[in-house]
Amino acid sequence: MSNRIDVCFAKLKTSGEKAFIPFITAGDPDLATTVKLVQAMAAAGADIIELGVPYSEPVADGPVIQAATQRSLKTGTTLTEILKTVRVIRQTATVPLVLMSYYNPILQYRLDKFVADAVAAGVDGVIVPDLPVEEAQPLAQAAAAAGLHLIPLVAPTTTDNRLVAIAAQAQGFIYCVSITGVTGARQQVNTEIAALTRRVQAVSTLPVAVGFGVSTPEQAAVVAKQCDAVIVGSAIVKVIEQSPGTAVSQVAEMVKEFKAAL
């Protein structure tokens, strides 16, 4: 069976569109709202949706997503509960779903069990920000065998040799971090992103997505010229934090605006 991520990018390529990929932290403010948020974002035009798995030491995340992680952990969100939530989402939504998780929760869950349960629930891909390519082989092999895409992160500081190794193992798409540092909305988007996306495109035919620091539809439109997909996290998570009661409708509106800009 073909992976939903591949199907999505193939369709967009045919129509010449760029993908919009929103990120939310699963379980923020609670898992029932996560289901509603995913349904609303899919209906509003999100092409792929990233769900963050909360972890007690989120080293790659900025203050907005760290706060969301803490809120989610306080309500008892676990990887097991998130996979149950994905099953619920799959009853009504066909949008490709990607989990973003640190390696520790996956290891605690057990690699083979995680891969099997994630695929059975309806997860299409996984991003593991603290898993270097040199140590990724066990998860990469298990994921590839099950049809789950292990999506790598690359940064402006990634060397050419590492880029080749990462591209050789990558599936789904390659996530370009537009800045060195943690996630978070920025006033300006890094203009060096074009150099990084060109380097990635020289070693891989996979779609290239850009994230970290994109916070407005205008910025997304600028970034989209250099890549196949734009990822937005902190700007959306901030809306959920500030108005959890009306977050579903507000986030849907944001997704519409971002998608329209692309």
Q: What positions carry a catalytic annotation? A: 50, 61
Which secondary-structure segment (H or E) carries 25? Answer: strand 19-25
Determine the Cα–Cα distance for residues 161 and 28; give it in Å rounded to an integer. 38
Region at 73 (left for phi over 0; alpha for psi -120 to 50; beta for the rest): alpha
Residue 59 CA to its chain's centroid (Å):
16
Determine the Cα–Cα distance for residues 174 and 224; give it in Å rounded to an integer. 14
Q: How many CB atoms lie within 10 A of CB 95?
A: 19
Cα angle 260, 216, 56 (rounded to 5 degrees) comes to: 115
